[in-house]
Amino acid sequence: MPKMPPSIDGVLVMGVGNPTKGSMIDGRQSRQDVGALQQIASRLGGQYHDGNMRHVPSSVLNGLGSLKADGDGLKLTLREYALITGVISALGLAILPFLLYFFASPFKPGKS
């Protein structure tokens, strides 16, 4: 197994499917191989969970889904600032016709 990149902190290998009776997928017999999945999980430094027996424990999901950020908090890059500016500009252009309709000058051309 290749070594996991440092960006991946945890691995959860989940077995889903019937381990005794296989089903045909794309013309081939497919069934859950518990031993192979456990070996893959141990080689990747993760853990194996049989999805047919019970739900994944919340503690395991919390460990996988947490983003580890330093105490500095979220830092926006130039790309995020550009996206925010684009969204605010688009909203302004979308609202402009309504503002002009309700708050524009009462001047009506052609009427005296």
Query: Tens of pLDDT along the chain (112 residues)?
Result: 777 887 787 788 888 877 777 778 788 877 788 888 889 888 888 888 888 778 888 877 777 765 555 556 678 899 999 999 999 999 999 999 999 888 887 777 776 6
Question: For residue 20, what are the domain limits?
Answer: 12-65
Is there a domain that residue 77 lies in? no
CB–CB of 60/41 below 8 Å? no
Q: Buried b / exposed e across 13-31, counting CB within 10 Å, b at 16+?
A: bebeeeeeeeeeeeeeeee
Is there a domain that residue 16 lies in? yes
Is there a domain that residue 31 lies in? yes
Q: How confident is the model at residue 94, as a pLDDT?
A: 97
Q: Which residues are bridge partners to 47 per DSSP?
A: 12
Distance in angstroms (rounded) separating the CA atoms of residues 52 and 34: 11
Is there a domain that residue 85 lies in? no
Is there a domain that residue 49 lies in? yes
Q: How confident is the model at residue 70, as a pLDDT?
A: 57
Is there a domain that residue 53 lies in? yes
Distance in angstroms (rounded) separating the CA atoms of residues 17 and 37: 12
Q: How confident is the model at residue 58, as a pLDDT?
A: 81
Is there a domain that residue 84 lies in? no
Number of domains in the chain: 1
